[in-house]
Amino acid sequence: MGLLRWWWGIIVVSIVIVTVGILLSRENPSSALDVMLEHTAFAVGNTLQEPEFKDTMGDLANKTKELEDLVANLSKKTTRRERRDPGLYRIPPPPPPTSTPTTTITTTPNTAKSTGKAKGKGKGKGKKIQYLFYRPRCCSGINNQLEEFWYAFQLAINMGRGLVLPMIAEHVTWTRVEMKDLTPFDEFFDSSVVRQLVPTMTTKEWKQMCNSTFELDIFPKNKNKIVQKGYEKYLNITWQGVQKLVVSSWDDLKDKDLPDCLGVQWPLQLLKGVFNIQRAKTDPPIGGLVEKNPTFEKLRRHTVAAPFIMSYVAPITAKLGKYLAVHVRVGDFKKWCKDSPDPRRCPTDKNMADKVRKTAQQHGITEVFVACDVDFKANVLKWMKEYNPNLNFHTFDSPDEPFKSHVDVTGVAEQQICIDAPVFIGNCWSTWSRTVHEGRYTTGKSCDTTLIWNSETPWCMKK
């Protein structure tokens, strides 16, 4: 501190002298400069002769010598350690540069005829990718649309094309058959996982590339009429008057020079022989596509909830801990269940409440997550609690967007909570429950933990 104080003193004195010199220089520049130099030398000389300044400088020199000796000693020790294990003490050199092949995806607007066939999956520099546009089952619920997506997914792979990700028609039920609410695929599912198997583009990008117009419309021979014109209508896509091609299966397309902008109707019918889609001949019909078809199982593994849904759900399932998840199918099921005496397909409120209590007791569970249509949720919780007062019931009711405004985004979140549950009970005649079952199967959940209402038989078939 003493050294610092003396140096500040020198600086202050010098500033004063310079100021005085400037003022004097206006009258006698030469004499002013002499006076300024003389006073500066005098101030610096006096400071250097002060005993305190000399002592401070001496201490600084001693400390500097001690620091140099310490650094030299550490250097010797480090060298000895490096000889024993050089990897622990040396920063490894940077790896040699490597040449990484790049993949370029190019799309061509619909201003000219297609220049060639689709080849491979677009791997390789500058290779052009053609894309497959298909009509989803938009007059059905989101899980029916999802099944159609998987068929188109496989058809794109077989044809060597990329896949145009569909718009999802939200909140479509047996009593609300319309598609006014079309929402991009990415709001529900993770397209980056889909792209691990096939290139993708959004519907908006396809409309821009193809000027919202088909060059060719492909139909299966056994279903060669458009029955879902509303999808094109709401997306403002031109399909009237477009050239039509009717084929028996995708094999008929192998040697054809197909244009960039083509549409496909009923992709499952074009996958003749690819999937075994027959239900298991058991009672109830346990098992299905995911157990009997390794190809479909691969598609299912590559269809997961959007990342923001996953991150939103994770703390909820962590808080629930060991819980039972149930799907209560109501609404349209209640309507057509009037003519069905099967209690497994159409269980009563008491049937489901009894199954919940029994399953919870078997697994030592007290927390129950309930998923059902938002319009019936309050009533379902009411009778569930009345029959099972010793259990704690939970639902997913988020005030945050996009959950608040999108019923089916909420549904995907509920499905993920059911997929992650230690135990799940669902309805094997429901596509909503079936989607959960497939998610549980492909993420390694035991078949013994995926159950059906009013049945002692687990849902899935073990591998």
Total residue length of the chain = 463
Query: What pLDDT score was predicted for residue 123?
Result: 45
Query: What pLDDT score was predicted for residue 107?
Result: 31
49-53, 133-137, 215-219, range with the lowest pLDDT = 49-53
Q: In Å, how far from its chain's centre is CA 202?
A: 15
Q: Is residue 3 over pLDDT 60? A: no
Residue 367 pLDDT level (bands cut at 50, 70, 90): very high
What is the pLDDT averaged over residues 319-335?
A: 85
What percent of the chain is predicted at pLDDT more than 70?
A: 63
42-51, 159-168, 180-189, 204-213, range with the lowest pLDDT = 42-51
168 or 337, higher pLDDT? 168
Query: What pLDDT score was predicted for residue 316?
Result: 96
149 or 241, higher pLDDT? 149
| Alpha carbon separation from 330 to 182, 240, 377, 455 (Å, rounded) | 24, 39, 9, 19
Query: What pLDDT score was predicted for residue 227?
Result: 57
Residue 211 pLDDT level (bands cut at 50, 70, 90): very high
Question: Tell me: the pLDDT tens digits for 116-163?
Answer: 333 334 444 556 889 999 988 766 788 888 989 999 999 999 999 999
Alpha carbons 53 and 60: distance in angstroms, whole number: 11
Query: What pLDDT score was predicted for residue 136?
Result: 82
Count the Cβ atoms, other than its own, within 10 Å of residue 406.
Answer: 18
32 or 179, higher pLDDT? 179
Q: Is residue 228 over pLDDT 90? A: no
What is the pLDDT averaged over residues 307-323?
A: 96
Exposed/middle/buried for residue 304 (C-beta within 10 Å: 0-12, 13-18, 19+): buried
Query: What pLDDT score was predicted for residue 117?
Result: 36
φ, ψ (nearest 5 deg) of residue 183: -125, 140
What dihedral angle (degrees, nearest 10) is formed by the CA atoms of 167, 173, 174, 177?
-50
Q: Is residue 443 over pLDDT 60? A: yes
| Alpha carbon separation from 243 to 19, 160, 230, 246, 360 (Å, rounded) | 93, 22, 20, 10, 58
Question: Tell me: the pLDDT tens digits for 287-308?
Answer: 667 777 788 889 999 999 999 9
Q: Is residue 61 over pLDDT 80? A: no
- Candidates 202, 126, 216, 199; CA nearest to 157 is 199
Residue 184 pLDDT level (bands cut at 50, 70, 90): very high
Query: What pLDDT score was predicted for residue 375?
Result: 83
Question: Tell me: the pLDDT tens digits for 78-114?
Answer: 443 333 333 222 223 333 333 323 222 223 333 333 3
Q: Is residue 44 over pLDDT 80? A: no
Query: What pLDDT score was predicted for residue 231?
Result: 80
